[in-house]
Amino acid sequence: AQSVTQLGSHVSVSEGALVLLRCNYSSSVPPYLFWYVQYPNQGLQLLLKYTSAATLVKGINGFEAEFKKSETSFHLTKPSAHMSDAAEYFCAVNVNTGRRALTFGSGTRLQVQP
């Protein structure tokens, strides 16, 4: 079975600062990894996904993530935070065997201070 751990349930950064949200996964087969963003009382929107084509994945709104197999990590970064980035972010994993549904981390709430 696969699992995801997101370190830090709350992260606070200043506007213009680097955003780093951490995600580590566990999977016995090659994983597919996703980052979603959720604004209050809304559904989830896909930011980016890793599907084994390239280890550095660029997504929407200036976010990117790097797949590091040796570290079993898929951390999300953005060079310069904007106030509109304040939201909850979820890392998720899926695989091509057995149950093919996303397994989510517990989420990280990002605060952006002016």
Partner 1 sequence: DGGITQSPKYLFRKEGQNVTLSCEQNLNHDAMYWYRQDPGQGLRLIYYSQIVNDFQKGDIAEGYSVSREKKESFPLTVTSAQKNPTAFYLCASSGGLAGSETQYFGPGTRLLVL
Contact residues for partner 1 (CB under 8 A)?
9, 31-32, 34, 36, 41-46, 49, 51-52, 90, 94-97, 99-107
Residue number with CB closer to partner 1 (52 or 55): 52
Q: How many residues does the chain have?
A: 114
What distance in Å separates the CA atoms of residue 7 and residue 30, rounded to the nearest whole number? 22
What distance in Å separates the CA atoms of residue 60 and residue 62, rounded to the nearest whole number? 6
Q: HSE-up of 2 (CA within 13 Å, CB side)?
A: 26
Residue number with CB closer to partner 1 (17 or 109): 109
Residue number with CB closer to partner 1 (17 or 64): 64
Q: How far is the CB of 95 from partner 1 (least distance, A)?
A: 5
